[in-house]
């Protein structure tokens, strides 16, 4: 649930740190590679959260002793993780968009 938002923050930090190098070398390839790597990692987090949400809610015979309540809590947390991962993936894509439109060095 925390991995994807941390990936988005790390992507922003690394992309900002690479701007000086990109300006000096007149290429944005490293910034594109960083955004692509973090976008794929966030998408993998989304997929993992979705798989956790899809997991069977209660195994056969495990209904007793509050197992159903625990399963519904896990499913709810997985749904929250999906939402956080989707939002983080969208944020990374939105941070990548200006790299395509604005030059790395304006001077």
pLDDT of 11 strictly over 90 = yes
Render pLDDT for 41-97 as a digit per residue (tens, 0 to 9).
999 999 999 999 998 755 545 555 566 667 788 889 999 999 999 999 999 999 999
What's the rounded mean pLDDT across residues 18-47?
A: 93
Q: Regarding predicted confidence, which is higher, 104 or 39? A: 39
Q: Residue 25: what pLDDT?
A: 87
Q: List CB contacts of 95: < 8 A, sequence separation 6 or more.
A: 8, 11, 12, 15, 35
Q: Residue 102: what pLDDT?
A: 82
pTM score of the predicted model: 0.83
């Amino acid at each position: 649930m925390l991995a994807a938002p941390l990936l988005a923050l790390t992507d922003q930090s690394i992309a900002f740190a690479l701007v000086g190098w990109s300006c000096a070398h007149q290429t944005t390839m490293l910034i594109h590679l960083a955004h692509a790597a973090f976008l794929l990692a966030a998408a993998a987090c989304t997929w993992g959260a979705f798989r956790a949400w899809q997991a069977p809610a209660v195994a056969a015979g495990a209904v007793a002793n509050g197992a159903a309540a625990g399963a519904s809590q896990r499913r709810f947390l997985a749904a929250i993780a999906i939402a956080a991962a989707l939002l983080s993936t969208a944020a990374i894509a939105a941070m990548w968009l200006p790299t395509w439109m604005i030059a790395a060095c304006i001077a």
